Structure 1
Amino acid sequence: MKPRDGGLPPGRGRARGWAGDLAMGARFAVTGGREGWVRMTLTAVGVGLGVALLLLTTALPNVFTARHRVEEARYDYSFSGTTRPRADDTVLVAVTDTRWHAKDVRGRLLEPEGSRAPLPPGLGRFPAAGEMAVSPALRELLASDGARLLRERLPYRIVGTIGESGLIGSQELAYYAGAKGLDPDANGGVRVDRLVRFGDPQPTTEKTDPVLLLMVLVVFVVLLMPVAVFIAAAVRFGGERRDRRLAALRLVGSDSGMTRRIAAGEALAGALLGLAVGTVFFLIGRQIAGSVEVLGESVFPGYLDPSPALLALVAVAVPASAVLVTLLAMRGVVVEPLGVVRTVRPARRRLWWRLLLPLAGLALLYPMVGKGRNSGGFNPYLVTCGVLLLLVGVTALLPWIVERVVARLGAGPVSWQLAVRRLQLSSGTAARMVNGIAVAVAGAIALQMLFAGVESQYTESTGRDPGRASMEVSLPERSDAAAVGEAFRRTEGVRVSVVLSTTTAADKRRDADNLVDLTVGDCAALREVARLPSCRDGDVFTLRNPHYDSSYNDSTAAVVRPGRQLYLDPDGSDTPSLQVPWRLPAGLRQVPYREDALQNGANGLLVTRSALPAKALSALHGHVFVRTDESVPDAPEHVRNTAARVDATADVFTWTETEQSTRYTSLRTGLFVGAVCVLVLIGASLLVSQLEQLRERRRLLSSLVAFGTRRRTLGLSVLWQTAVPVLLGLLLSSAVGLTLGTVLLKMTATPVTVDWASVLSLTGAGAAVVLAVTLLSLPPLLRLARPDGLRTE
């Protein structure tokens, strides 16, 4: 056998032949006239949508890294336990975080103590007392009409803007305000630190939670799989017209292998153009991302920089996938010089190899069943491959199911018969259209089961009853409790306010053996902690909290005896000369603890205010418990404003029964954001695919209209033609999703439960996307279904 291409070795000649055939196909795609450009444009848009989401995914690691870098750079906590001495290079920082409706507002008060005081990231200079620098989003919010209460809470003059280096997102609400007289030795609700630099001095690496790692892996696979499925479908747009064109090539002498390679070259051209289109989509979306917020999360455009290695992988994988998918698809089509053998009854699809994919996925996941959190980490490669095979099994099984079901469909209205006949002729095309939806719903159901199953492991009870108090305000020491209580009672939207103060007493001036907790308030406030038989100002009660260790209660009881002298430390120091002596009165009465006490950690002594020496009142750390009137608009905002007027450093938080791990919450938020992006992509891809199908059937639609078929009938046929495979796809995806969710829960050693409401809502969301796409495709359908569409040249 002679070497090909003028004496080149067989391998090199074969490679040049491949390259030449692919290049010829690419030229046909570019120079194929209006028809070719429309086909390639549809392919490029479809591929481009998938590429844009892939590029976004490759940028996610950099987003997390950039946000973490900013968090570490602006770190302003000091847990040394001792106050650093004042110096020329120190700055005092007080935390004044607040909330505006459902959004967190990060706030700091700054007091530089010398000319070399360190600036926090994002600031060019320190704001003076009464001034503040704000994030761009907070500046915009304060300038809006609905932020009057927030402007009252932040009574500072805006003199600057926090730069990107000091913010974790473009929509973060944050400010730095100047202050005077901050006290780093203050106790209570305020935290004031003296720093010589910003940043975490001892960054620690948190131990990886194997269950969270499993969830991260599954989230990425589930979100990316529908994108890959759609890209594989997009490169096959215009397949029927392309095959008829290839028949002409057989007439001029090309063999079947060359014909397939030329078809792959056409798909390659569309994929390469899709890469360019996807890059443009990504760059546009990258800029838009800087001005939007999704589920409370935002980023700067500079954060969305894909990793070079992942970027190269996308650039190689997409064109390679286009060639591979086309070659595989052409194996089932016989292109002859006189036509395409596609209209005869195709061979029935085989089931056995389609079942092997999900079974292999289950086999890979089975070794990790029961490991949970304490039995070792999950193998990330087995998890990824196992979940991937299960989801790929959806795309393999769906064409077989659609073919078998539609083959048995028959009589019905004209619209139904048109749809059924079309599905029987091209069931594979119909299945490809809904494969993305089926994979997305299957993955979403599995993830919903996993998240719902492990939620209790990342949710803790706070021990608070929101029915007893809506909000709590923690005040620093030396707050006037009477004035504070009156201020909150007069606050709009407050039904009840209770002021309880706490401090400790020692049994010795130095080297105390025992400390006793004191809860101080008026009689009405103390009744919110214990059940008092009677009470008047000047009384002191002993309280035994059953939730404390018995040895602790016994040691407290040994100290709390009538006539015993205790020592109160008004300044929170160990200086004996500053400690105030206090002798316990003779008439001590023990009272029972309320299980629903507002101060759930109360123990030791309950004291009315006049029973304490006047000098000791400055040692009290106040808590205000507020019950708001839900019928009053912005009642929580009025409470926060009052707290800010009482003391800018007061800590205000809302009572909830439970609180969740921030890492779990962040992962769930990331899933929701990704799911929104994937749903938008699927909807757009289905619309592009539907338009491509209508374009290919333009002459058939025109013929039907010319013979008197009503447009309403054609519209219903399109709806049935979409609804049948979607229904089958959703049934299959529900079964696979429930199976995968069960396996994931078994892997995490979590009891298997199914939230059927979530399953139905997810399948309903998938069906809603398809319905919306069908409605959007009706105008083009009516425009194409005209008799003049039969006109030709």
Structure 2
Amino acid sequence: MNAGTGHRPRERNRAWGTSRDLAMGVRFAFAGGREGWFRAAMTAVGVGLGVALLLLTTAIPNALAVRHERDVARADYTYVFGHPLKAGEKTFVIADIDTPYRGDDIRGRMVQREGAKAPVPPGLTTYPAPGEMAVSPALKRLLGSPDGALLRARLPYRITATIAESGLTGSQELAYYAGSADLADHIHPPDVARIDHFGSPRSPDAESDPVLMLLVLVVFVVLLMPVAVFVAAAVRFGGERRDRRLAALRLVGADGRMVRRIAAGEAMAGALLGLVLGGGFFLIGRQLMGSVEAFGISVFPSYLNPSPALALLVAILVPAAAVLVTMFTLRGVVIEPLGVVRTAKPARRRLWWRLLLPVAGLAALYPMVGQGRNGGGFNQYLVTGGVLLLLVGITALLPWVVERVVGRLGQGAVAWQLAVRRLQLSSGTAARMVNGIAVAVAGAIALQMVFAGVEADYTKPTGNDLNRAQMSVQVPDGVPVSKVARAMTATKGVRKVVSIADGEAGDRAEDPQRTATVSVGDCASLREIAALPSCHDGDAFVVKGSDSDSETTKLLTAGEKHGRTLYLDPAYSGDDDGPASRWTVPAKLKQAQTREDPTGYKRGGFLLTPGALPAGASTAVRGVVYLSIDSAVPDVHEHVINTAVRIDPLMLAGTLTARELNSKFASIRTGLLVGAAAVLALIGASLLVGQLEQLRERKKLLSVLVAFGTRRRTLSLSVLWQTAIPIGLGLLLAGVVGLALGSVLLKMVGSTVRVDWLGVLAMTGFGAAVVLAVTLLSLPPLLRLMRPDGLRTE
């Protein structure tokens, strides 16, 4: 019985001793004088930066969800899902008048309230009156600035209200609602429609794309992994000075285990202080992110609320990681009463277990090779584990690579020899400094390969011929296309105008059995859509060669029995307004061969010059104007859009593009760019903190070298070499691992493995640029440390 219970006091004493040693380490961190405070502060800043980014990252899902909810709540395209509405107590008319301005998209809506119970747009308390508008705060600032002069001419409304946060998806969104008195007279879905509520109806969730889900998963892993690496590195700031202080504890009777626990407590104190600073950095970053826009994305600070569970997980893991990392790093350090055995030649690092990590990562990903998007969803646990193991493998392999390479470096200039000798003595510290940048670059290279490899699957050609036209203008009903063409011809920067008005001709005025397209334009414009034998005003042509036109010949054949009379704008139901215009087909109808228009469309049917169009039939056709512009003219696009809006506010003018990118794919890529920018900022800040800490560790050494006559230029170059050599090796290793990971991911999605060497060099160059910027920023402190008075000591 005594033997059985005798272990309990011993276990309690051991637990009490461990807690006491950890508490002593915490006390040393805050009561150890300037040295202890400085180390704790350096650790706290490094950890705090990582914690802030982790909290911001955990808040991203909530921010995206809120943005989506706001966008759905204000949706105004619900008329697509139902029958046309009659005017009533709850109806209102709304028109989509979105417009671009100098590369930014402006969400515009024109509204007319019809009933007293019509819902108010989200973010507003009342409808704007005719001639007035409600604007977002960002648009209000833009209109009030000198840069908004051309936009003010496009929006000639008086600002009477500001759209509240509930009606916007981001703090920097440009949006407005303009009032109208006669919008109901121009209803033409989908551009102008009558609806009775805002918000999108619930619809079955579309089947998710496995490739896009894989990209999202890999993006999160790649962005978070460098943050974790930096947090682990931050708790080791000032390690050499700390270990020398711990040697003094051996003189007063502490054993090896005790000093390691004290060191862990000191690291935990810095980590806990880092949690506090990280919370402060997060709140500051949260507010700053509410006032900036990156790649067209902005949020309100209220969106960035991290999940409580994830925030609690960060608060637990960071101090725990500080203790574990410290205990792990001290396993090979012998702390004796008379010093720290660190400068002796260390045991050579072994390679075999370091290779196990990337091999295990490849093994986890291999079962999904060739699965593609038709094989169902990718196993998210295998994907996460495989990518993590490959990236962690960099942190394990890099110290071995640096040790082997610098061990073989030899003679050179004095600066080179100083740098090489320093790296040979502390290659692990040098590798630890660049682990984060290497992991980030490897992940960026892999993702860049995947995005480049699958982009073709999410990009479709528009068919637009940008050599013939660069802009198009959709002319609304009731506006003569000839008026628009004349105005555009007089617009600054417009070189050529092609105007076509399209309509429909049928064999009956109501419910026709056969129909054909009718296109109206002057001879120069008609030659852009067909090859004409000769053309004069008053001519009419029948078009041959269109694969989509099979009714024109039948119409002409049937027309011979009915006097060759066709009806322009025939009615298909009793709801259609206005009678159809009669058109008698000329006896001598010329023939024309179809040709692709600037958008790649081949027309069939009939071509009419303005003189051949029956009187009063101008409302039966709807026009489009294609423009060739001089891109060298400043703001030529804005001048064209201003001309269009001046003629009719509902007129839509847009820029033609050669290719169209899938919106979800573009959003994921934008998210990667935003996240990568934040991670690079963290990498730069953490590298700078680590560099300053390393310089401070070598303060006396630098002072001794200066006192013996070493030139400052030589010392500055040595510091540069100490950074450049491990960075070069890290980037080289990152390139190899990144190419391997990218190739495997491309094989998984079923795409051909192609290496975009320009993209690989760009990713590597970004990493090198961050390091170069950090090195330049560390030169002023270095010059201050290189003074003989640094030899003074107490």
Q: Same fold (TM over 0.5)?
A: yes
Give 3-state SS (helix, strand or coil) of 1:702's partner: helix
Structure 2 equivalent of residue 618 of structure 1: 619
Structure 1 equivalent of residue 720 of structure 2: 719
With over 3 angstroms needed to count, the CA separation of the structure-2 counterparts of 1:4 and 1:721, relative to structure 1, is: farther
2-structure distance, mates of 1:583, 1:660 = 45
Counterpart residue type for residue 731 of structure 1: L
Q: How does 1:36-115 map to 2 (within 5 A)?
A: 36-77=36-77, 78-80=79-81, 82-115=83-116
Deviation at 1:564, TM superposition (A): 2.5
Contact 2:465 2:600 in 1 (8 A): no
Counterpart residue type for residue 662 of structure 2: S
Structure 2 equivalent of residue 564 of structure 1: 564
With over 3 angstroms needed to count, the CA separation of the structure-2 counterparts of 1:676 and 1:322, relative to structure 1, is: same
Counterpart residue type for residue 309 of structure 1: A
Structure 2 equivalent of residue 390 of structure 1: 390
2-structure distance, mates of 1:537, 1:180 = 39
Counterpart residue type for residue 405 of structure 1: V
Contact 1:3 1:10 in 2 (8 A): no
With over 3 angstroms needed to count, the CA separation of the structure-2 counterparts of 1:560 and 1:497, relative to structure 1, is: farther
2-structure distance, mates of 1:432, 1:739 = 22
2-structure distance, mates of 1:659, 1:607 = 33
Structure 2 equivalent of residue 276 of structure 1: 276
The alignment yields a C-alpha RMSD, in angstroms, of 2.1
Structure 2 equivalent of residue 637 of structure 1: 638
Spell out, residue by residue over 1:728-772, the C-alpha distance to the aligned partner (whole angstroms, 9 max, x if none).
111100111111111111111111111111111211121111111
2-structure distance, mates of 1:5, 1:779 = 63
Deviation at 1:85, TM superposition (A): 1.0
Question: Does 2:418 match 1:424?
Answer: no
Contact 1:295 1:673 in 2 (8 A): yes
Identity of aligned residues (%): 62
Spell out, residue by residue over 1:235-277, the C-alpha distance to the aligned partner (whole angstroms, 9 max, x if none).
0011111111112222222222222111111110001111111
Structure 1 equivalent of residue 30 of structure 2: 30
Contact 2:465 2:598 in 1 (8 A): no
Deviation at 1:325, TM superposition (A): 0.6
Structure 2 equivalent of residue 223 of structure 1: 223
Deviation at 1:499, TM superposition (A): 1.3
Question: Does 2:657 match 1:666?
Answer: no
Structure 2 equivalent of residue 175 of structure 1: 176
Counterpart residue type for residue 657 of structure 2: T
Give 3-state SS (helix, strand or coil) of 1:419's partner: helix
With over 3 angstroms needed to count, the CA separation of the structure-2 counterparts of 1:462 and 1:156, relative to structure 1, is: same
With over 3 angstroms needed to count, the CA separation of the structure-2 counterparts of 1:461 and 1:11, relative to structure 1, is: farther
2-structure distance, mates of 1:556, 1:8 = 102
Q: How does 1:274-313 map to 2 (within 5 A)?
A: 274-313=274-313
Contact 1:94 1:108 in 2 (8 A): yes
Structure 2 equivalent of residue 541 of structure 1: 541
Give 3-state SS (helix, strand or coil) of 1:183's partner: helix
Structure 2 equivalent of residue 401 of structure 1: 401
Spell out, residue by residue over 1:114-160, the C-alpha distance to the aligned partner (whole angstroms, 9 max, x if none).
22211011111111100001011111111111322111110000111
Question: Does 2:298 match 1:324?
Answer: no
Contact 2:481 2:499 in 1 (8 A): yes
2-structure distance, mates of 1:505, 1:685 = 70
Structure 2 equivalent of residue 436 of structure 1: 436
Structure 1 equivalent of residue 456 of structure 2: 456
Deviation at 1:18, TM superposition (A): 2.5
Give 3-state SS (helix, strand or coil) of 2:408's partner: coil
Question: Does 2:748 match 1:747?
Answer: yes
Counterpart residue type for residue 663 of structure 1: K
Give 3-state SS (helix, strand or coil) of 2:94's partner: strand
Give 3-state SS (helix, strand or coil) of 2:75's partner: coil
2-structure distance, mates of 1:344, 1:5 = 46
Structure 1 equivalent of residue 371 of structure 2: 371
Give 3-state SS (helix, strand or coil) of 2:293's partner: coil
With over 3 angstroms needed to count, the CA separation of the structure-2 counterparts of 1:555 and 1:14, relative to structure 1, is: farther
Q: How does 1:676-687 map to 2 (within 5 A)?
A: 676-687=677-688
Contact 2:136 2:175 in 1 (8 A): yes
Counterpart residue type for residue 178 of structure 2: A
**Greater displacement, 392-401 / 295-304:** 295-304
1-structure distance, mates of 2:204, 2:107 = 23
**Greater displacement, 579-588 / 628-637:** 579-588
Deviation at 1:509, TM superposition (A): 3.2
Give 3-state SS (helix, strand or coil) of 1:624's partner: strand
2-structure distance, mates of 1:536, 1:80 = 46
Q: How does 1:586-605 map to 2 (within 5 A)?
A: 586-597=587-598, 600-605=601-606
Contact 1:70 1:166 in 2 (8 A): yes
2-structure distance, mates of 1:202, 1:185 = 29
Structure 1 equivalent of residue 351 of structure 2: 351
With over 3 angstroms needed to count, the CA separation of the structure-2 counterparts of 1:554 and 1:353, relative to structure 1, is: farther
Give 3-state SS (helix, strand or coil) of 2:80's partner: coil
2-structure distance, mates of 1:403, 1:441 = 21
Contact 2:511 2:571 in 1 (8 A): no
2-structure distance, mates of 1:200, 1:576 = 29
Structure 1 equivalent of residue 197 of structure 2: 197
Structure 2 equivalent of residue 139 of structure 1: 140
Structure 1 equivalent of residue 782 of structure 2: 781
TM-score (norm 2): 0.96
Contact 1:441 1:737 in 2 (8 A): yes
Spell out, residue by residue over 1:197-217, the C-alpha distance to the aligned partner (whole angstroms, 9 max, x if none).
111123442321111111111
2-structure distance, mates of 1:232, 1:151 = 52
Counterpart residue type for residue 25 of structure 1: G
1-structure distance, mates of 2:690, 2:3 = 43
With over 3 angstroms needed to count, the CA separation of the structure-2 counterparts of 1:81 and 1:496, relative to structure 1, is: farther
**Greater displacement, 350-359 / 752-761:** 752-761
Deviation at 1:789, TM superposition (A): 1.2
Structure 2 equivalent of residue 335 of structure 1: 335
1-structure distance, mates of 2:318, 2:559 = 77
Counterpart residue type for residue 166 of structure 1: G
With over 3 angstroms needed to count, the CA separation of the structure-2 counterparts of 1:410 and 1:143, relative to structure 1, is: same
Deviation at 1:604, TM superposition (A): 1.4
Contact 1:541 1:605 in 2 (8 A): yes
Contact 1:5 1:13 in 2 (8 A): no
Counterpart residue type for residue 20 of structure 2: G
2-structure distance, mates of 1:260, 1:676 = 37
Give 3-state SS (helix, strand or coil) of 1:537's partner: coil
With over 3 angstroms needed to count, the CA separation of the structure-2 counterparts of 1:2 and 1:695, relative to structure 1, is: farther
With over 3 angstroms needed to count, the CA separation of the structure-2 counterparts of 1:515 and 1:570, relative to structure 1, is: closer
Deviation at 1:556, TM superposition (A): 6.3
Counterpart residue type for residue 121 of structure 1: P
Counterpart residue type for residue 30 of structure 1: F
Deviation at 1:572, TM superposition (A): 7.8
1-structure distance, mates of 2:4, 2:648 = 88
With over 3 angstroms needed to count, the CA separation of the structure-2 counterparts of 1:518 and 1:13, relative to structure 1, is: farther
Deviation at 1:595, TM superposition (A): 3.5
Contact 1:76 1:193 in 2 (8 A): no
Contact 2:477 2:619 in 1 (8 A): yes
2-structure distance, mates of 1:3, 1:100 = 84
Counterpart residue type for residue 96 of structure 2: V
Structure 2 equivalent of residue 757 of structure 1: 758
Structure 2 equivalent of residue 706 of structure 1: 707
With over 3 angstroms needed to count, the CA separation of the structure-2 counterparts of 1:398 and 1:184, relative to structure 1, is: farther
Counterpart residue type for residue 173 of structure 2: E
Give 3-state SS (helix, strand or coil) of 1:374's partner: helix
1-structure distance, mates of 2:599, 2:556 = 23
Give 3-state SS (helix, strand or coil) of 2:111's partner: strand
Contact 1:83 1:184 in 2 (8 A): no
Contact 1:4 1:14 in 2 (8 A): no
**Greater displacement, 73-82 / 305-314:** 73-82
Structure 2 equivalent of residue 410 of structure 1: 410
Give 3-state SS (helix, strand or coil) of 2:48's partner: helix
